[in-house]
Each structure stands twice: as C-alpha cells, then as structure tokens.
Amino acid sequence: MKRRKFIKKSILSTLGITFITGIYSWKIEPFWLEFVHKKMPIKNLPKHLQGKILIQISDMHVGNRFDPNYITHSFKKAQKYNPDFVVYTGDYTTFESPEQYEQLREVLKNAVKGTFGTVAVLGNHDYGENWEDASVAATISQILNEANITVLRNEQKEINGLNFIGFDDYWGTNFFPENVMSKYNEHIANIALCHNPDACDEPVWNNYKGWILAGHTHGGQIKPPFLKSPFLPVKNKRYTTGEIDLYDGRTLYINRALGHIRQVRFNVRPEITIFKLETS
C-alpha cells in the first residue's frame, strides 16, 4: 500500500511539474524580456563616439501568431535607453500573406530609433514562402525605409563616424556580400550585420576585423539545463547565442530574438541588446 501511495504521489508530482513548466514556457518566458548589456570595443572608433549606446533588436516575427502589445511595450522600454544607434538584424515578419505588411507598418509606428541613425538587414522570413520571394523582401524593405530605418542589402552606410556593413540574408535570393566586402576599409570604424550567423563561415570577409551582429537562432528557444539546445537552424552548431570569438579578429554576437515563430521558450529569454561603444 505504501508503495502504491509513493508511486501515485510521484506521478502526480511529475504531472504537476510538467503542467507548471508548460504554462511557464508558453505564457511567461516568451514575454519575459531581458536587456543584455555588453561593452563593444571598436577599432578606429572616433573619440566623440566613446561611451555611446547602440541597441540591437532582432527577429520580431510580426504575423498572425504574435502579440503586438508585447512588441510595442518592448520598444517603449528600449527607447528609455536613448540609443545613439539602433540596428535591426532581420525577420521582421513571419510572412503568410500581405496582411503582414499592415501589421508591420503598425508596429513600426513605435519603432526604436537611434539619435544618430538606424539601420537594418533582412532575414529569411522576410523573403516569404521558402525564402525565395524577392517581391516580399522588396516590400518589407520599402516599409522599413519609410519608417526611417535604412535597409542595407549588401551595402554599407557611414553614420557619424561609424560604418555599418549589411549583408542580405544568407538563405534569401540576394546574398551577394562580396559586393560590399570588396569595398571594406579597415582604417575606419566598422560593424557588420548579417541575420544568419552561418554567413560568418563564407569566404567573403576580405580580412574583416571587428564585430558581427546576427540573430536567426533565437538561442534555440528551448534549452534543457546543462545541455545544448536541440533546435538550432544553423549548420555551425557553435553559433547558438551571445558573444562568440571567431579567432581571426572577428567577434560574433547572436541576439536571442525579441519575438518568436512559436510561442514557447524555456531557459532562453527574449532579448534586446544594449552595447556601450568604446575604443579597442
């Protein structure tokens, strides 16, 4: 009898823990935003940019399975940091239909902007079905540009002494980073942006030294304690989340994403990254 009671209590306890964990992973952690603070040493950084703030926002995934209030509240919290620069690193929508264009326009009314400037690159979901609809990418780029967010598609843009190099998406139809890296100037302050960190392994970097800001992985969204996430949409499984030394003068930073495709997170909170610029 005692053994039966023990087994029954164990089963009930397990079911209770599973239920609580499920509710937490579904209703709490996907909206428990973390502001991650990092120092960003940059070679050739002008003196007047010492101590300035750069915010990275990635993977909003505006669509039919997202909470616009959560995105808006997150933006308003980020605006309180009074960023000098803001970069967006792709996947603005989970595109299913043109409805997402209007959803994105509405969200961007509260977008976080930098005092000096705001730039962006596209992600795979910004290319529509199978990541191959160039017209979707063009329309999303237009919407971002109309919101005063400059989209870099294998292009670079200098803003107040800081040069942003932007790759188009690695899985999209316009991944030609050599178009911009052939013009790489090592004698100025540079930051590179690419949505998918697998782009770091392509032979296109032209001896680039410096930071690369990426997203795409969401940190896996689910990470069992003491184990690696089983859900990483990258070839290089080293590219999970956070700061990664590439051992060649490049430093990769992977943002865990503000939004989600599926509303579930465990041990991988959503993130907005706050970088403080300093001289390398």
- Which CATH number fits the domain that encloses residue 119? 3.60.21
Residue 21 belongs to some domain of the structure: no
> Per-residue confidence at 230, pLDDT binned at 50, 70, 90?
confident
Percent of the chain with pLDDT over 90: 87
Domain that holds residue 74: 32-279
Residue 23 belongs to some domain of the structure: no
Using the predicted structure, report yes or no on whether residue 7 has a pLDDT greater than 50.
Answer: no
Determine the average pLDDT of the residues in 95-105.
96
pLDDT on residue 6: 43
* pLDDT tens per residue, range 135-157: 999 999 999 999 999 999 999 99
Residue 20 belongs to some domain of the structure: no
**Number of domains, the chain:** 1
Residue 56 belongs to some domain of the structure: yes
Residue 143 belongs to some domain of the structure: yes
Three-class secondary structure assignment of the chain:
CHHHHHHHHHHHHHHHHHHHHHHHHHHHHHHCCEEEEEEEEECCCCHHHCCCEEEEECCCCECCCCCHHHHHHHHHHHHCCCCCEEEEECCCECCCCCHHHHHHHHHHHHCCCCCCEEEEECCHHHHCHHHCCHHHHHHHHHHHHHCCCEECCCEEEEECCEEEEECCCCCCCCCCCHHHHCCCCCCCCEEEECCCHHHHHCCCCCCCCEEEEECCCHHHCECCCCCCCCCCCCCCCCCCCEEEECCCCEEEEECCCCCCCCCCCECCCCEEEEEEEEEC
The pTM assigned to this predicted structure is 0.93
Provide the mean pLDDT of the chain. 93
Residue 53 belongs to some domain of the structure: yes
Determine the average pLDDT of the residues in 170-176.
98
Residue 88 belongs to some domain of the structure: yes
* pLDDT tens per residue, range 23-70: 999 799 999 999 999 999 999 999 999 999 999 999 999 999 889 899
Residue 177 belongs to some domain of the structure: yes
C-alpha–C-alpha distance, residues 139 and 256, integer Å: 25
